[in-house]
Structure 1
Amino acid sequence: DTISIKLRDHLLIADKLKILSVAPLLGEAIRRIHEEDSISSLFV
């Protein structure tokens, strides 16, 4: 996982942050591309 917020700033807003994984979205996009299906609905 990667966080691009400086540690000092992260501590100031930690209660407002939620870390999300994009792995399921990327996995589904790869599957659809492999099967030559549309991926546009994933990004609406």
Structure 2
Amino acid sequence: MVTDSIQLQPDAKWCKTITQLRIAELLGKAIRRIHNDDSISALFI
């Protein structure tokens, strides 16, 4: 498993053993919570 925070190499996109997870929503929530001085620990449990 890898995240989509960096682009996969072209040949890795077709590899059946690699699963790419989208993290945009999680990063957005974390940034918002940090900006508002809220806890981010609940996002990662």
TM-score normalised to the size of structure 1? Answer: 0.62
**Which blocks of at least 5 consecutive residues in structure 2 are unaligned?**
1-5
Q: CA deviation at 1:21?
A: 1.2
Q: Which has the higher helix share?
A: 1
Q: Verify: 1:2 aligned to 2:7, yes or no.
A: yes
Larger Rg: 1
Aligned length: 40
Identity %: 43
Taking only aligned residues, the RMSD between alpha carbons, in angstroms, comes to: 2.5
Q: Which has the higher strand share?
A: 2
Q: CA deviation at 1:16?
A: 5.1
Higher relative contact order (CA 8 A, sep 6+): 2
